[in-house]
């Protein structure tokens, strides 16, 4: 059997090549000045996917797409039947997204592979670059649905049925843009999963540390609440008879925000993310509204307490709004999800490259949270200026980003070559 080539100590990525792919990506699905509006399964998303797949094929990778539109680009291993080491993130953005977000993670993974090609470095295990479908949830709820399906959280048919406000479904849109692939979703072993992502918080930037070793995630409890009222005329109908679903949902929004403020001092957050109301017109009270929000905290017990407070507040909102409310969906993520060995590998690799690190918790949800359910997983954070993200002013500097990609490169190599 062919031996895996020893890892050259001076091996580093090609920073300018990496940056030119970031800049190319920044031309696809342009949004507000400086930003991107490359929402999942739109024409812009298709264009980015096509370009990414072309880059992968040029790099000699075998590209497959699974039935929910996750893309895997595979570099063969010397022992090719072994489970692959997977590096990835997502290429979709929010409606007012930045150019970096998950894109940095995907294109960093591609740069890792290109760097290995430059030096003709073979690895024992295969290495795959993964692009997860609809991480952002900007068009189809819930977010991270491609990685969730891969991890067996949702069946494929359930994913296909997710509907956007314009009535389009994931299944139909995947078909339309040509990314309803034939590969089965999940159900195969991954040796390990690394996700590099911009921090989406201010810590690394403020401390001038290039790499965050993600130790765990904030515990988050999210909910979608249906509010059921009754339509009536906005003029004559008496206050004590009103069942205005819009008002019920607005009360929930304020309640979750208040809970966030209550725990603000210890880093807690309460988010009113979305209200959808119907008919939502000037002359009529709405008989239906749907509220989406979440609470999160670094301490799982406190996050649980915040959830309980929200549920108490919900009962109070029912009383005050005179509407019925039902939990349509509820989710939970975070806490101690990452693989200790993989996390230690990231930390040790950075130390051996002379890259400073900070142990850090992730406050946002990531595809890695789902993949951690089915494979040993670790995340690497890189800095973003002032922690600004999901905003067209999101900025990550090349110099601040490159050390993290080199850590990804060497950590992936060590993992892929281990005995």
Q: Least Å distance between CB 370 and Zn ion?
A: 13
Q: Which stretch binds Zn ion (CB under 5 A): 41-49, 99-107, 152-160, 293-301?
A: 99-107
Q: Least Å distance between CB 36 and Zn ion?
A: 12
Q: Least Å distance between CB 91 and Zn ion?
A: 10
Separation in Å, CA 48 to CA 96, 164, 171, 297, 341:
17, 20, 19, 35, 34
Nearer residue to Zn ion within complex by CB, 102 or 192:
102
Q: Mask: binding to Zn ion, 215-234, rule CB under 5 A, as x and -? A: --------------------
What spatial distance separates the first Cα and last Cα of the chain, rounded to whole Å?
Answer: 13
Distance in angstroms (rounded) separating the CA atoms of residues 292 and 272: 7
Which residue in this structure is represented by tokens 């509220």? 291
Distance in angstroms (rounded) separating the CA atoms of residues 345 and 349: 6
Q: Which residue is nearest to Zn ion (CB)?
A: 102
Q: Which stretch binds Zn ion (CB under 5 A): 96-104, 322-330, 354-362, 383-391?
A: 96-104
Q: Which stretch binds Zn ion (CB under 5 A): 73-81, 97-105, 183-191, 354-362?
A: 97-105
Nearer residue to Zn ion within complex by CB, 105 or 192:
105
Coil vs helix vs strand at 60: coil
Evaluate whether 346 touches 411 at the Cβ level (below 8 Å). Answer: yes
Residue 142: CB atoms within 10 A of its CB come to 18
- Number of chain positions touching Zn ion (CB under 5 A): 2
Burial environment of residue 23 by CB neighbours within 10 A (0 to 12, 13 to 18, 19 or more): exposed
Evaluate whether 171 touches 180 at the Cβ level (below 8 Å). Answer: yes
Q: Which stretch binds Zn ion (CB under 5 A): 95-103, 163-171, 251-259, 394-402?
A: 95-103
Helix axes 398-417, 340-353, angle to 10 degrees: 120
Nearer residue to Zn ion within complex by CB, 248 or 383:
383
Nearer residue to Zn ion within complex by CB, 94 or 286:
94
Q: Which stretch binds Zn ion (CB under 5 A): 98-106, 151-159, 329-337, 370-378?
A: 98-106
Nearer residue to Zn ion within complex by CB, 99 or 124:
99
User: Considering only residues 101, 226, 294, 394, which one is a binding residue for Zn ion as defined by CB under 5 A?
Assistant: 101
Q: Least Å distance between CB 197 and Zn ion?
A: 6
Residue 233: CB atoms within 10 A of its CB come to 9
Nearer residue to Zn ion within complex by CB, 77 or 102:
102
Q: Least Å distance between CB 177 and Zn ion?
A: 20
Nearest Cα neighbor of 100 from 161, 176, 19, 205 is: 19
User: Considering only residues 77, 102, 260, 383, which one is a binding residue for Zn ion as defined by CB under 5 A?
Assistant: 102
Distance in angstroms (rounded) separating the CA atoms of residues 292 and 285: 20
Nearer residue to Zn ion within complex by CB, 29 or 102:
102
Nearer residue to Zn ion within complex by CB, 7 or 388:
388
Q: Least Å distance between CB 56 and Zn ion?
A: 20
Q: Which stretch binds Zn ion (CB under 5 A): 11-19, 94-102, 205-213, 401-409?
A: 94-102
Distance in angstroms (rounded) separating the CA atoms of residues 356 and 271: 33
Evaluate whether 35 touches 124 at the Cβ level (below 8 Å). Answer: no
**Cα atoms found within 13 Å of the Cα of residue 416, Cβ hemisphere only:** 36
Q: Least Å distance between CB 143 and Zn ion?
A: 9
Nearer residue to Zn ion within complex by CB, 29 or 77:
29
Q: Least Å distance between CB 366 and Zn ion?
A: 6
Identify the sign of the CA torsion 360, 364, 367, 373. Answer: positive
Q: Least Å distance between CB 145 and Zn ion?
A: 13
Separation in Å, CA 253 to CA 10, 219, 220, 225:
53, 20, 17, 11
224 DSSP β-pair partners: 292, 329
Nearer residue to Zn ion within complex by CB, 115 or 200:
200
Q: Mask: binding to Zn ion, 15-54, rule CB under 5 A, as x and -? A: ----------------------------------------
Distance in angstroms (rounded) separating the CA atoms of residues 378 and 192: 8
Nearer residue to Zn ion within complex by CB, 66 or 101:
101
Q: Least Å distance between CB 135 and Zn ion?
A: 5
Q: Least Å distance between CB 26 and Zn ion?
A: 15
Residues within the interface to Zn ion (CB under 5 A): 101-102
């Amino acid at each position: 059997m062919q031996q895996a080539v020893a890892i050259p100590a001076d091996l580093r990525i090609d920073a300018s090549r990496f940056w030119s792919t970031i800049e190319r990506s920044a031309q696809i699905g342009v949004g507000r000045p400086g930003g991107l509006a490359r929402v999942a399964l739109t024409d812009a998303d298709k264009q980015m996917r096509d370009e990414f797949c072309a880059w992968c094929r040029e790099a000699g990778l075998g590209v497959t797409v699974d039935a929910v539109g996750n893309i895997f680009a595979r570099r063969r291993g010397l022992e090719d039947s072994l489970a692959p080491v997977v590096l990835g993130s997502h290429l979709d953005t929010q409606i007012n997204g930045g150019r970096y977000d998950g894109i940095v993670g995907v294109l960093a993974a591609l740069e890792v592979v290109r760097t290995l090609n430059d030096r003709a470095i073979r690895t024992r295990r295969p290495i795959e670059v993964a692009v997860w479908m609809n991480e952002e949830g900007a068009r189809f709820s819930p977010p991270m649905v491609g990685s969730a399906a891969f991890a067996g959280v949702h069946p494929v048919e359930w994913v296909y049925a997710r509907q956007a406000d314009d009535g389009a479904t994931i299944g139909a849109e995947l078909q339309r843009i040509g990314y309803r692939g034939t590969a089965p979703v999940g159900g195969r072993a991954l040796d390990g999963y690394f996700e590099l992502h911009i921090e989406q918080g201010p810590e690394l930037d403020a401390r001038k540390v290039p790499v965050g070793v993600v130790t765990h995630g904030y515990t988050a409890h999210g909910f979608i609440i249906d509010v059921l009222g009754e339509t009536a005329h906005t003029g004559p109908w008496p206050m004590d008879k009103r069942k205005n679903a819009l008002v019920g949902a607005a009360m929930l929004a304020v309640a979750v925000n208040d809970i966030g403020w209550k725990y603000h001092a210890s880093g807690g957050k309460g988010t009113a993310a979305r209200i959808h109301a119907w008919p939502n017109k000037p002359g009529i009270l709405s008989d239906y509204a749907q509220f989406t929000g979440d609470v999160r905290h670094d301490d799982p017990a406190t996050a649980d307490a915040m959830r309980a407070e929200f549920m108490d507040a919900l009962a109070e909102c029912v009383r005050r709004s005179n509407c019925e409310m039902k939990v349509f969906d509820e989710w939970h993520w975070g806490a101690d999800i990452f693989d200790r060995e993989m996390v230690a590998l990231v930390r040790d690799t950075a130390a051996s490259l002379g890259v400073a690190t900070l142990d850090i918790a992730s406050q946002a949800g990531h595809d890695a949270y789902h993949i951690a359910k089915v494979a040993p997983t670790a995340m690497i954070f890189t800095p973003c200026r002032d922690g600004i993200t999901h905003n067209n002013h999101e900025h990550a500097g090349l110099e601040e980003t490159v050390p993290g990609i080199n850590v990804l490169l060497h950590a992936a190599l060590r993992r892929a070559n281990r005995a």
